[in-house]
Amino acid sequence: MAVSSKKPDWKRVVVKLSGEALQGPQTHGLDEKTLDRIADDLVNAAELGVEIAVVVGGGNFFRGIQGADKGIERARADSIGMLATVMNALALEFAIEKRGWPARALSAVPMPSLCQPYSRQAALHQLGKGRIVILAGGTGNPFFTTDTGAALRGAELSCDAIMKATNVDGVYTADPKKEPTATRYERLTHDEAIAKNLAVMDTAAFALARENRIPIIVFSIAQPDAITAALAGEGKSTLVVP
């Protein structure tokens, strides 16, 4: 595995991993190979000495907004969505531990028989021990997304950056799937992203990151070693800075 030997600038990061990133080629659920590849990548990144918190989404199982569209009251549908993130967190925790690296899932929705409840202190303690911390349950509240969970944890855990893993290798001038002439930004400020109306993360998440002056790196999780490469400043990405 080609792991960069370059030292990353960031000491502590929060990685936002959508549920979709874990479904691989499937239409939903968890893909074993994809989970293993991402676990490898996270372990390689942790071996560089970076403290890593991962906020996992749940869209590969359930999104509250879709449940609401089908008539489930929104707050309840979001509860189902938050439960979906716990499934992903437990699967990722196991995939990382299988590689001999310690991982701890912490849930913002307390379910102590499955994993530790999230608290800032518990997360900082686990990060300090070098464990990869997997944050389930988003913010723990309905009407939010795990993007916002990532920005919130990024701020409260004093992370140097939010690493937003997507299926596109950065932020483009227009949707590159619809507009073939669209070009990727290498670097942007938070203010430029707003002025140009570019969707980097959802609005609440972006506002939190901007207010707390947290850089956001947007990169594609499709490649092996994507997280490690992004940390080392290699590969394609867009860096959003204050």
CB of 204 to ligand UDP, least distance (A): 10
SS (H, E, C) 181-230: CCCECCEEEHHHHHHCCCCCCCHHHHHHHHHCCCCEEEEECCCCCHHHHH
- SS3 percent helix, strand, coil of the chain, rounded to 5, is 40, 20, 45
State the binding string over 65-104 for ligand UDP (x if CB under 6 A, else -). Answer: x------------x--xx-xx-------------------
Contacting ligand UDP within 132-191 (CB under 6 A)? 138-139, 141-142, 144-149
SS3 174: coil
CB of 156 to ligand UDP, least distance (A): 14
Output the CA torsion 1→91→164→119 (10° steps).
-120
16 vs 131, which CB is nearer to ligand UDP?
Answer: 16
CB of 37 to ligand UDP, least distance (A): 17
Contacting ligand UDP within 11-30 (CB under 6 A)? 18-20
44 vs 88, which CB is nearer to ligand UDP?
Answer: 88
| C-alpha to C-alpha distance for 112 and 228, rounded to whole angstroms | 31
Site of interaction with ligand UDP (CB under 6 A): 18-20, 57-59, 63-65, 78, 81-82, 84-85, 138-139, 141-142, 144-149
